[in-house]
Amino acid sequence: MRRKKNGSSIFVLFLFGAIVGGVLYLYNSVMFERDVPQISLENKSGFWNLKKPLHILIDDESGVKAYRVVLKSANNEETLLSEQLLSPKHTVSLDVKPPRSAYALKDKNIKIIVEAVDASKWNFFNGNATTKEYTFVIDKKRPQVSTISHSYKITKGGSALVIFKAKDENLQELVIETNFGKKFVPQPFYKEGYYISLVAWPVTQNNFKATIVAKDFAGNVTKSYIPLYLKDKSYKVSKIKISDKFLKGKIADLAEEFEETQGVEDPIEQFKIINEDVRAKNEALIHEITSKTSDEIIKSFKINKMYPLKNAQVVASFGDHRKYSYDGEYISESYHLGLDLASNKMAKIKPQNGGEVVYADYNGLYGNMPIIDHGLGLYTLYGHCSSVKVSSGEHVNAKTTIANTGKSGYAMGDHLHFGVLVQGIEVRPQEWMDKRWIKLNIVDVIKNAKEIIRRN
């Protein structure tokens, strides 16, 4: 009798353990998972123009069994999407389009309500349910954009100025897009709702097109083409033969300096790396520094003609396309994106315009190189200096000695490499050295715009 009782006890314990184990297994299985479906919405701006569909994702481990999307206005509630899935899906992707009646909505705000139930057996086989609510500001109006004043023309390698009005209570982004991918950022001008920007046509681009693009938070976009007359210009092409003396002299000296040429013994390869890789690195730094613009309002902008070196002669022109060869074979090329000026050795460099020094250090091929920010995205650069008299962050007045000419970096003789940049694009210094050009393209454009704005 005792053996039978012991056997029964063991069976009961085993059965109990099996039941507990089964319950624990089911409790922790995906079939009985207890997490509600996860709902996410791609549009996080809180604005909707009733044109672009709302993209909604519903995720669940056990699978989504049913969902419903509702649009709720002040006086109405309408189901936009609803489905009972025969085969539950782990991820449901929805593109929710507004109903036709939504375009006649007078409501400024609406709500999108998303309900979802999963395929879990939890909650007495009813599954886990969740509801998520999103509030949107309805904005169907495109931003208003109108050009007020602009330069008549732009020359290849040169600059132009545009002043325009842009209005939208939900304005998100305002840029000037070009056909070559550059986006110029305008600054507020004179009065609220007006903007000003310099634009530039790179010497390396065969064509130029600039378009003001205004976008609001709801995704409404307005584009307005700037009607500039395009003037083509031919730039010098120089075919330069590389000599062994040059390779064993200047290039060998530079190769010892740069990290990119360490361990490279071939003089031609050294030259290629210096002329292409090191140059690209140095120019990338320049472009990064000079691409910055302020968001402060500009009431006026005055600029004097630029001539930083007294009694100087031009020894190398802007835009020169240099093609290098050795023993009759092409090896490399580059563009000279500044104006080389020379006078006396270690001559004083005195910019005719004040501004903030944003860089005053050594920059590879450019040697000792101060850069000055004159406002409105306009910068001047001074390369190959023997010494620099200013520091980064310092404000300098017009006609202050900022440096002395020299031959630091990639320079064969004492001179100044003078560069002018508009939001990171190198432009012709000759324009900014011409008083008449400045009057026609800068002074008169601003004066005309102010008169129009005052009348409005």
Under 8 Å between Cβ of 209 and 230:
no
Residue 142 is given by DSSP the state P
Q: What is the location of CATH 2.60.40.10 in the chain?
A: 144-232+446-455
Give the residue, 14 or 347, on which the prediction is more confident.
Answer: 347
Element housing 31 (H / E): none
What is the C-alpha to C-alpha distance for residues 93 and 38, in angstroms, rounded to an integer?
12
Q: What is the location of CATH 2.70.70.10 in the chain?
A: 237-423
Band (pLDDT 50/70/90 cuts) for residue 3 is: low
What's at 194, amino acid-wise?
Y
Query: Quick one: average pLDDT of 219-237?
Result: 97
pLDDT tens, residue by residue, 147-177: 999 999 999 999 999 999 999 999 999 999 9
Q: Hey, what CATH topology would domain 237-423 get?
A: Glucose Permease (Domain IIA) (2.70.70)
Other residues' Cβ atoms within 10 Å of the Cβ of residue 383:
28
Residue 33, pLDDT above cutoff 90: no
| Cα separation of the two ends of the chain | 111
pLDDT tens, residue by residue, 112-138: 999 999 999 888 778 899 999 999 999
Q: Which class would CATH give 33-138?
A: mainly beta
Query: Quick one: average pLDDT of 353-369?
Result: 98
The pLDDT value given to residue 24: 45
Query: Quick one: average pLDDT of 204-233?
Result: 97
The pLDDT value given to residue 18: 52
What is the C-alpha to C-alpha distance for residues 290 and 243, in angstroms, rounded to an integer?
35
Other residues' Cβ atoms within 10 Å of the Cβ of residue 448:
14
Query: Quick one: average pLDDT of 384-399?
Result: 97
Give the residue, 248 or 19, on which the prediction is more confident.
Answer: 248
Q: What is the location of CATH 2.60.40.1940 in the chain?
A: 33-138
Candidates 3.40.50.12780, 3.60.15.10, 2.60.40.10, 3.30.43.10; CATH matching 144-232+446-455: 2.60.40.10
Band (pLDDT 50/70/90 cuts) for residue 101 is: confident
Query: Quick one: average pLDDT of 16-35?
Result: 60
Structure tokens at 324: 């290098």
pLDDT tens, residue by residue, 409-419: 999 999 999 99
Residue 102, pLDDT above cutoff 90: no
Residue 21, pLDDT above cutoff 60: no
The pLDDT value given to residue 277: 97
Structure tokens at 193: 């709702």
